[in-house]
Amino acid sequence: MSTVLFALLALLPAAPAAQHKTGDDKSVLMLEFGVAQSDKATVMYKKLSPVLEWLQSDLEPRLKRSVDVHLTIFKSYDESIDSLVAGKVDFVRLGAASYISAKKRNDKVELVAMELENGSKRFQGVIAVREGSPLQTLADLKGKRFAFGDQNSTIGRYLAQAELVKANLHASDFADFRYLERHDKVARAVEIGDFDAGALAMGTFEESRKAGKLRALCTFDNVTKPWIARAGLEPAVSAALRESLLSLKDAAVLKELKVSGFAIATDEDYAFVREGMKHADEFEHEGEKN
């Protein structure tokens, strides 16, 4: 079994998916795994490499062949969605909104499993302000500057914008708003005062909160991340991936990934996010019908 290979998309082109290399007496299954960069690449590699190495070793007896997994960290959410839709990667870890966008473009992509956080399929996102900020409610954000994450981010854009719309806040109500691509960039921008508030994942927020830099203005529910197989992946391979993830109990691997386990995923699990995305459409298109 090989160590998980790692590349940034900007440095290496995506390899053809699911290659079978013939050795002396057996084939090696080469699986391409992709993820969008929501944090520093080194942080994401540290988080994901243990679970991918575990998958390699668990898949081999299930599939009765050697398995190598190649990890690509895409520099944007768009690149990760495009690669899944085009079949350039075999399986991916995406946010809920990115899964929904990919499913619209290619309804043959297949849910493999979904992560659990503290045994639940739901976790929280945060709209945060600096610790010393006078802002106390979402209504106080009117006329302020707001930092979002990636334009395809479930927490960093869609569900945060849905919360703002529910509070009767739209794009025109802000002095400025921008998309900063990653949760860590949002946290930093709010910490140093470039923006008055921002939307970010709970894990990123907690790091800043513990350091006394940020506090939560509000929290909101999100659905945990799905792992998705490309259209046309061999049924035996996708089934083995599902069985492996559902059987993962290694505490050290789960801790590094910051999940408590995996569960069976259905498209209906993401209906909540689809509804939030509809509300988010009103953020920049106030008064328009969806």
Same domain, 15 and 113: yes
Same domain, 84 and 162: no
pLDDT at position 27 is: 85
Same domain, 114 and 17: yes
Kindly state whether residue 208 falls inside one of the protein's structural domains: yes
Same domain, 161 and 199: yes
pLDDT at position 290 is: 42
Q: How many domains does the chain have?
A: 2
Reading the block at residue 49, the tokens are: 């490499």
Per-residue exposure over 146-168, b if at least 16 CB sit within 10 Å of its own CB, e if not: bbbbbebbbbbbbbbbbbbbebe
Same domain, 215 and 173: yes
Residues 252 and 266: their CA atoms lie apart, in Å, by: 27
Kindly state whether residue 231 falls inside one of the protein's structural domains: yes
CATH number at residue 16: 3.40.190.10
Kindly state whether residue 272 falls inside one of the protein's structural domains: no
Same domain, 92 and 50: yes
Among the listed residues 271, 246, 273, 272, the one whose alpha carbon sits nearest the alpha carbon of residue 260? 246
pLDDT at position 16 is: 40
pLDDT at position 195 is: 98
Edge-to-edge strand list for the sheet holding 214-223? 176-179, 145-148, 197-201, 122-130, 214-223
Residues 280 and 278: their CA atoms lie apart, in Å, by: 5
Same domain, 21 and 67: yes
Residue 147 lies in domain: 122-223
Calculate mean pLDDT across residues 247-256: 97
- 8 A C-beta contact, residue 131 and residue 215: yes
Same domain, 115 and 160: no
Kindly state whether residue 216 falls inside one of the protein's structural domains: yes
- 8 A C-beta contact, residue 126 and residue 201: yes
Could you tell me what percent of the chain has a pLDDT over 70?
Answer: 90
Q: What is the pLDDT of residues 9-26, one digit of tens each?
A: 433 333 345 554 434 435
End-to-end alpha carbon distance in the chain: 50
Kindly state whether residue 196 falls inside one of the protein's structural domains: yes
Same domain, 190 and 66: no
Same domain, 33 and 55: yes
Calculate mean pLDDT across residues 211-231: 97
Q: Which of 170, 189, 223 is the last residue of a domain?
A: 223
Kindly state whether residue 273 falls inside one of the protein's structural domains: no
Global pTM value: 0.85
Kindly state whether residue 288 falls inside one of the protein's structural domains: no
Q: What is the pLDDT of residues 48-73, one digit of tens each?
A: 999 999 999 999 999 999 999 999 99
pLDDT at position 196 is: 98
Same domain, 96 and 231: yes
- Indicate the pLDDT class of residue 211, thresholds 50, 70 and 90: very high
Same domain, 215 and 254: no
Q: Which SS3 state, helix, strand or coil, does residue 165 take? A: helix
pLDDT at position 232 is: 97
Q: What is the pLDDT of residues 128-155, one digit of tens each?
A: 999 999 999 999 999 999 999 999 999 9
